[in-house]
Amino acid sequence: MAERQSLSESRLPEGARRGRAADSVERVYAIIKEWAIEYRFLPGQKINEAELASQLSVSRTPVRAALNRLERDGFVINIPNRGFFAREISPAAVRELYELRAAVERAAFVHACARASDAQVEATVAAWEDHGDPQDGGSWAPVALADEAFHMALVRLSGNGQMVLAVEALSTRIRFFRRLALEALPQRAQSYREHAAIIDALRRRDAIGGAELLERHITLSAEHAAAAAGRGMARMLFGSAA
């Protein structure tokens, strides 16, 4: 059966074969990236390319292409003559990512105050306010996703595509820690209060005051996320009770 499929594909036009190969690479990349974001690979774990290829029912070629892209994205490292390894969990590295995020989002907020229309601002606010109740103890994961979406929406209001791309990349790298940090109700409630203050500054077009609020908000989040990095490592090694 596998041989007949291969022969059938060999009769496809060259462009169609390239299209199928590209689709396969994108699918494999998306799956492995999601696993890396969620730390399905333990920190420092060697990634077995042959095993991944078998799990995903593909050859090693799209797996290798995906891992090369994920190295550029910061999710894996490639050690010459040894292979690919999952990223480590480091509180210091988490803080650095949040510091970079704070710098970009602060600048984006200033542009948003100058460039976004009132309608765009209100649409961003409505999307955040409609997502749910911060006191719902069972909904921390949706809250984390809504928090990420809110910050991305603020950056989009800047009208700067490069800032959007930068924060999107940063958001995927910190998503795991953001979710852990927002498990705690006090941290979740604090985040809501800070968002309300940021929204108020945005509506008033207070670029300087709002940018300072946003930077402080992300800096405080960095401390919670760095602590979450330690909890995340313990949870992976010792189970959910850690």
217/98 same-domain check: yes
The owner of tokens 């462009």 is 15
Residue bearing tokens 């009132």 = 118
Q: What is the CA radius of gyration of the chain?
A: 21
Q: How far is the CA of 56 from the CAs of 11, 49, 69, 70, in angstroms?
A: 24, 11, 17, 17
Number of domains observed in the structure of the chain? 2
Same domain as 133, residue 77: no
Which of 43, 63, 86 is the last residue in one of the domains? 86
Whether 99 and 133 share a structural domain:
yes
Show the domain range for 169: 91-238
Shared domain for 79 and 97, answered yes or no, is no
Based on the fold, state whether residues 129 and 59 are members of the same structural domain: no
Which of 46, 66, 86 finishes a domain? 86
Distance, CA of 171 to CA of 161 (rounded, Å)? 15
- Looking at every residue in the chain, the average pLDDT score rounds to 85
> Per-residue pLDDT tens for 14-50?
444 455 566 788 999 999 999 999 888 988 999 999 9
pLDDT at residue number 52: 95
10 Å Cβ neighbour count for 102?
19
Is 95 in the same domain as 212?
A: yes
| CATH code of the domain covering residue 182 | 1.20.120.530
- DSSP run (H or E) holding 197: helix 185-203
Determine contact, residues 224/179, Cβ cutoff 8 Å: no
Q: Are residues 71 and 106 in the same domain?
A: no
What tens digit of pLDDT does each residue of 207-227 get? 999 999 999 999 988 888 877
* Cα-based angle 102, 107, 108 (whole degrees, multiple of 5): 95
Among 64, 86, 108, which residue terminates a domain?
86
Does residue 161 surpass a pLDDT of 70?
yes
